[in-house]
Amino acid sequence: MKKRVTGQKKGRGMMGQAAPRNNRPVFSWCFEPVCESGQGCVTEAGIVVSATGGEHEQDCRIRYPASFRAAAERDYMKPEYRRCCGIDVHKKSVSVCVLPPEGQQGMVKREKFRTFLRDLKRLRAWLKNCKVTEVAMESTGQYWRPLWNVLEGEIPQLILLNPAHVKGLAGRKTDRRDAEWLARLQEREHLQGSFIPPLEIRELRELTRTRVHWLQDCNRTKNRIAQVCEAGNIKISSVASDLMTIGADAWVSLVAEAPIKGAGQAG
């Protein structure tokens, strides 16, 4: 005895939709979500997946022409353009190596520039002409700072590497091919850059550090004056608590000039 099926017609699925072939669900791209979860939810870049045959899909097909849908899917599937560069920084020169764009065949470009400002600007123009998107360099003393200041804001991604991190990476690092080695590691995403604050924060750091250095110099000068006075049996520290006041400065000058005047009178 055959069971009677209600609510469905032969060859039709639930809710009057066409039954999928070979029991496989058929999906199509949709540009507006039907709901926030489940079938028809947002997956990637605002494009959602919804079952075919629904009113929502038909409405989207009317609102979004086929040419628009094809262009959106083509842009979504288009691979991201990447071109990596490695820079080996020295005191008087920098060695640069630019790899071909990722996924493309081409020659590896190598150049060497001096570290004067005009040469660093030529390096920046050369990198922009090569359409470089990522630059990796190793922090060598303070020599990386001028190069970073010239390239900042001109290259989409700058990476400064800690020498200890680079030393621990697998591979052979030679002076001749440092730049290419860094570029290869960056292309494979094996490098971890150090945190570099924005320009405004770096300038504020320099200002506060300069103030600290000036205060330390002032304290060292006070201590030297007190030591010289103590060595000459002048107990100025017992009279004045601060040697940098106007009264203490005048008293120190008077004491320092008194022996010279006395020696002149005695002669």
Same domain as 164, residue 123: yes
User: Where in the sequence is the domain holding 43, given as residue range(s)?
Assistant: 26-77
Q: How far apart are CA 11 and CA 20, in angstroms?
A: 9
Same domain as 152, residue 172: yes
Same domain as 57, residue 113: no
Domains contained in the chain, number:
3
Same domain as 139, residue 59: no
pTM, two decimal places: 0.57
Q: How far apart are CA 267 and CA 264, in angstroms?
A: 5
Q: What is the pLDDT along the chain (267 residues), one digit of tens a residue?
A: 444 544 444 444 444 444 444 454 444 445 455 454 444 444 444 444 444 455 555 555 555 566 665 666 655 555 688 899 999 999 999 999 999 998 888 899 999 999 999 999 999 999 999 999 999 998 888 899 999 999 998 999 999 998 888 777 766 666 567 888 888 888 888 888 888 888 899 999 999 999 999 999 988 988 888 888 888 777 777 777 777 777 777 777 777 676 554 444 544
What is the pLDDT at residue 221?
A: 87
Instruction: Please report whether residue 141 resides in a domain.
Output: yes
Q: How far apart are CA 71 and CA 2, in angstroms?
A: 50
Same domain as 127, residue 95: yes
Same domain as 182, residue 90: yes
Q: How far apart are CA 60 and CA 65, in angstroms?
A: 8
Instruction: Please report whether residue 228 resides in a domain.
Output: yes
